[in-house]
Amino acid sequence: MTKQDQIFSSKTLSYFLQLTETMNYTQAAQLLGITQPALTQQIKKLEHAVGAQLFYSVGKKLHLSEAGKTMLVTVKQIYSLLNEATDAIQQDSSADRGKITIGMLSSIDSSVIGNFISHYYNLHPNVEVSLYMFSRKEIWDSLENNQIDLAIMYLPDENIKNWHPYASKKINDESLLFLHHAHTNRTSITFKEALANPWVTYPKGYYLEQLIEEAFRNQMVDLPKSAASFSTPFQLIRFAKQSNVDTALPASFYCSHRDSIDLEALPFTPAINFELSFVYRKDKITIPRISSFMQAFDKYLTVKDYNTRLYEEF
């Protein structure tokens, strides 16, 4: 076996990638379905083949060495090239076969897209669609490394520095609503008035947290005082109800769950608007199965729009 065979076997690379994601031998081995000693042995073989230590430990914490960081960049490039080659090969294939991988922000309600995937399977049973829930950073890393075909996320996103390789397609117009406990006949609320009580918010770095922060700063108003932060709308609602604090959520989520949300909702003045969109590499839409998927989704929302379908789920 040559050195190249030792380094670039698919098993070795998958083991290395899994360990870089968890930075924990026990967790990585469990996810890979192998024993920890077997994983350790494979990593040592890889280190021997490249002639450098790829990981090192400080106490109980595992870190990537400089050589490991170089290897990680290279491995991601290899996977990206392989994915691009697969896409190129499948561009001329049937729209009724193949795989579609979708990454969705974990803070977005997945019920509509989940039900559409079931609907699409009935139309195209030989197309395998996978849906993953990601953080904002994970979804962009996956797009940049060509690990997903489609992203479902909120726009605009100032973190996107280079739009040239990408295209977007709007799914739904969104706005933020202020959720509070006071019963009132008011039809809206100002940013300053929304500061009367503490909030439960999204964590730092989440799209909606940054959107709220930017909106308040643009109005030259102090930021809401955060009592706690959670990553999903259900967690925010639960904490707000139990702790008598306020929060803000997308209007689509509130409308679809309003019968079970014991909180009042008001739009902000001025409104905080954004979009739910597909984002993808421009060349992806030339792949028949992905083009077919997008066309079918358009037709799905033509029969009943996004908000109607979202409300009907609950």
Q: How do residues 169-198 score in pLDDT, each as one tens digit?
A: 999 999 999 999 886 788 999 999 999 999
Burial of 218 per CB tally in 10 Å (0-12, 13-18, 19+): exposed
Q: Where are the domains of the chain?
A: 3-75, 93-165+278-312, 173-274
Instruction: Supply the pLDDT for residue 10.
Output: 75
In single-letter form, the type of residue at position 129 comes to V
**For residue 189, which of 202, 200, 198, 180 has the smallest C-alpha distance?**
180
Q: Enter the CATH code of domain 93-165+278-312.
A: 3.40.190.10
Instruction: Supply the pLDDT for residue 90.
Output: 64
Burial 181-194 (b: 16+ CB within 10 A, else e): eeeeeeeebebeeb
- Classify domain 173-274 at the CATH topology level: D-Maltodextrin-Binding Protein; domain 2 (3.40.190)
Question: Half-sphere exposure (CA, 13 Å, Cβ side) for 276?
Answer: 22
Q: Three-state SS for 231?
A: coil
Instruction: Supply the pLDDT for residue 1.
Output: 46
List C-alpha distances in Å: 170 to 1, 139, 232. Answer: 50, 17, 22
In sequence order, what are the beta bridge partners of 281?
A: 166
Domains 93-165+278-312 and 173-274 share a fold: yes
Report the C-alpha gap between 31 and 22 in whole angstroms. 10
Burial of 283 per CB tally in 10 Å (0-12, 13-18, 19+): middle
Instruction: Supply the pLDDT for residue 295.
Output: 96
The model's pLDDT over 260-286, given as tens digits with 9 standing for 90+, comes to 888 889 999 999 999 999 999 998 998
Question: How much is the pTM?
Answer: 0.68
Identify the segments of the chain with pLDDT beneath 70. Answer: 1-8, 88, 90-94, 183, 313-314
**For residue 194, which of 172, 169, 219, 175 has the smallest C-alpha distance?**
219
Let me know if domain 3-75 sits in CATH 2.60.40.10.
no
Per the CB < 8 A criterion, the answer to whether 130 and 254 are in contact is no
